Structure 1
Amino acid sequence: MSNDRLGQLAGAGVSIWLDDLSRERLSSGSLQELITDKHVVGVTTNPTIFASALSKGEAYDAQIRELAGRGASVEDAVREITVSDVQQACDVFSGTWETTNGVDGRVSLEVDPGLARDTEATVAQALDLWKAVDRPNLLVKIPATEQGLPAITRAIAEGVSVNVTLIFSVERYRAVMDAYLDGLDQAAANGHPLAGIASVASFFVSRVDTEIDKRLEAIGSDEALSLRGKAAVANSRLAYAAFQEVFTSERWKALEAKGARPQRPLWASTGVKNPDYPDTLYITELVVADTVNTMPEKSLLAFADHGEVHGDRVTGTAAEAQQVFDALERVGVDLPDVFRVLEDEGVDKFEKSWTELGDTVTGQLQQAR
């Protein structure tokens, strides 16, 4: 039986994606069950998810032995393992991809986060992953660093579908949308059919509250403390207002006439980190059509159990959201610094997870040999 609460969420126009993937989840049928019973229509991955998957169980043992037997390098082994998982997931979601006309049924695979500040290397790896996975429902994840922006444009220009990750500020989000539109212009000039190119923009949510709440508590005034837990939702609502503005513009209409698809906002990092907040906060408060919410399984099951859909919670809220940001600045929160710190931390965390993934594979290859 499909879950009614998640069904209501999907019915409100929110695409439910799972923020997790592993060989065990694929082979056990767990992923297919989530598709069938929990309205899951896509998957996102990141280096942390793969590092966790590789360190548990025996699902990768046979592939590790095969890789060790032919003397594969750690870099090649990591690539083959992650590509294999993503290919299998793309195949599981192929039916969803077809029935939604390519809107959903998407699986994301990230470029090496160590390349986040290197445009040329990011483009090269994005094209390589696109060819290696060889599935039309793949999204290649590229971080929204300053160096990532031109990489996004160039990947889109080559017909690669992209999940832009690690977006924290509305200012950077606007630059991401511009990069996407620039890429579509170039793709059309290069002869790529625009209908075959998809993109989402992953706007990170909970980490914004974590960082800003910490600063509000350090300030300590009553006004500052009253703003805790409000910044992340306000930030996301301002982002959606920017999305509506850009994707109703004359420039967009010209691209849409050529078959282009809008770059949907994706609410990422929606697991609630502060136990004082409702565990479905970043799902309930960000319900709006034409968005994706990618959830860790814990958040997905929490919403299935007790989540509530109160209709569109985002459209028309920009003025109220801006008041939250005005108040944050008034009490002394340095917002540009917040977003710089969050981006640097985000890249650093993924780099460390990538290193951890490499270390795990190194140990497993050595043991197999």
Structure 2
Amino acid sequence: MTDSTALQALADNGVSIWLDDLSRERLTSGNLQEVIDTKGVVGVTTNPSIFQVALSDGEDYSEQVAELAAANASLDDAVTAMTTQDVRDACDVLMPVFEATKGLDGRVSIEVDPRLAHDTDQTIEQAKELSALVDRPNLLVKIPATVEGLPAITKVLAEGISVNVTLIFSLDRYRAVMNAHLAGLEQAKEAGKDISTLESVASFFVSRVDTEIDKRLDAIEGDKAEAAKALRGKAAIANARLAYQAYEEVFSTPRWKSLEAEGAKPQRPLWASTGVKDPAYPDTMYVTELVAPGTVNTMPEKTLDAVKDHGEITGNTIEGTYDEAAQVLDDLEGLGISYSDVTAQLEKEGVDKFEKSWEELLAGVQSELDKAAR
């Protein structure tokens, strides 16, 4: 439900609107229910940075911190208890959406410890642990799309756990993610699981691509400077549109069709990092330019409000753009900007950023536990 024409138009065009934020205050104040009712939100994503901000802001967690301190909970157990409670409560708020959409939406994501991004076995174990602790059918466990994350995606899906694959930047890695998804469904089916209950999204990061490539374009001088300037702000949308082309290809193959016949659902592309970083660009750009059926757009509330206020939804803005998008990436290579170098750097920075946020979260919680224990 929404009272916004633009947000309703997004939904009508097959885009699921998810909120990229969660906090205890949002839950206890009724704000999460409010954005569901008035802004068409049908899902929630979290990440270590979001939890770090939430747990460092306000007194909403003080009662639980006191209980955990009294129980002599370890730091890792305390953080897990706090984050899984928020996610469990959010799952409960979104359960009517989950039921109304037959499991397609109404989903809430929680990420495995980012320090495990390069450890396949530990990622699998923690994904199973988080699934058991939250214990809700509308949970998605977030696994990063690192090389080590790929077999974890397959194994976790094979265990019957729905997955949100995060930190995808390159088209090659995205294809590997879709392959890992199909392998997971095949293994789940082989193990006798009901694959119709498995849902997965592939979080393809958008704005960070422009941030890095624009920086490289701005450094180009001389006779190529004009051509470089003309490409600013084009790479991220082109990259995402080509990801959608890959999605259309993979989910029309005979391999997929045989799984679909057994009730499997496609792994939807999810546009993440959709808040615009450069004020020179329209603040709704990474929403209005990425409209296509079967997608999810997870937005910080600032972006959501911008779309609600002045977003112009003109129908499918991906269909028919693939040649133009491929040309953008070719032109970048022609200017000496290496796509593979950019995407590898962004993946490393993404993992590092989440790890830093997690360390800050741990330090903040430890401080609160120490205070409560005095």
Deviation at 1:12, TM superposition (A): 1.1
1:181-209 deviation line (CA, Å, top 9, x unaligned): 00001000111000011100000000000
| TM-score with structure 2 setting the length | 0.98
Q: Where does 1:1-369 land on structure 2 (aligned, <5 Å)?
A: 2-220=3-221, 221-369=225-373
The amino acid that maps onto 1:163 is: N
**Cα distance in structure 1, aligned partners of 2:214 and 2:101:** 39
1:91-146 deviation line (CA, Å, top 9, x unaligned): 00000000000000000000000000000010010111111111000000000000
1:55-108 deviation line (CA, Å, top 9, x unaligned): 111111110010011111110000000000000000000000000000000000
**Cα distance in structure 1, aligned partners of 2:178 and 2:364:** 36
**Cα distance in structure 2, aligned partners of 1:237 and 1:120:** 33
**Cα distance in structure 1, aligned partners of 2:270 and 2:92:** 22
**Cα distance in structure 2, aligned partners of 1:364 and 1:186:** 43
**Cα distance in structure 1, aligned partners of 2:12 and 2:38:** 15
**Cα distance in structure 1, aligned partners of 2:290 and 2:182:** 25
Q: Helix, strand or coil for the counterpart of 1:117?
A: coil
Structure 2: gaps spanning 5 or more residues: none
**Cα distance in structure 1, aligned partners of 2:264 and 2:12:** 24
The amino acid that maps onto 2:5 is: D
Q: Helix, strand or coil for the counterpart of 1:333?
A: coil
**Cα distance in structure 2, aligned partners of 1:191 and 1:158:** 10
**Cα distance in structure 2, aligned partners of 1:315 and 1:203:** 18
1:269-312 deviation line (CA, Å, top 9, x unaligned): 00000000000000000011100000000000011111110110
Deviation at 1:267, TM superposition (A): 0.1
Q: Helix, strand or coil for the counterpart of 1:150?
A: helix
**Cα distance in structure 2, aligned partners of 1:204 and 1:132:** 28
Structure 1: gaps spanning 5 or more residues: none
RMSD: 0.7
The amino acid that maps onto 1:359 is: A
Deviation at 1:316, TM superposition (A): 2.2
Deviation at 1:217, TM superposition (A): 0.8
**Cα distance in structure 1, aligned partners of 2:176 and 2:38:** 37
Q: What's the % identity of the aligned pairs?
A: 63
Aligned residues: 369
Deviation at 1:334, TM superposition (A): 1.0
**Cα distance in structure 2, aligned partners of 1:146 and 1:173:** 11
**Cα distance in structure 2, aligned partners of 1:290 and 1:315:** 13
Deviation at 1:317, TM superposition (A): 1.2
1:127-181 deviation line (CA, Å, top 9, x unaligned): 1111111100000000000000000000001101000000001110000000000
1:297-351 deviation line (CA, Å, top 9, x unaligned): 0000011111110110002211110010110000110111101100000000000
The amino acid that maps onto 1:314 is: I
Deviation at 1:263, TM superposition (A): 0.2
The amino acid that maps onto 1:308 is: E
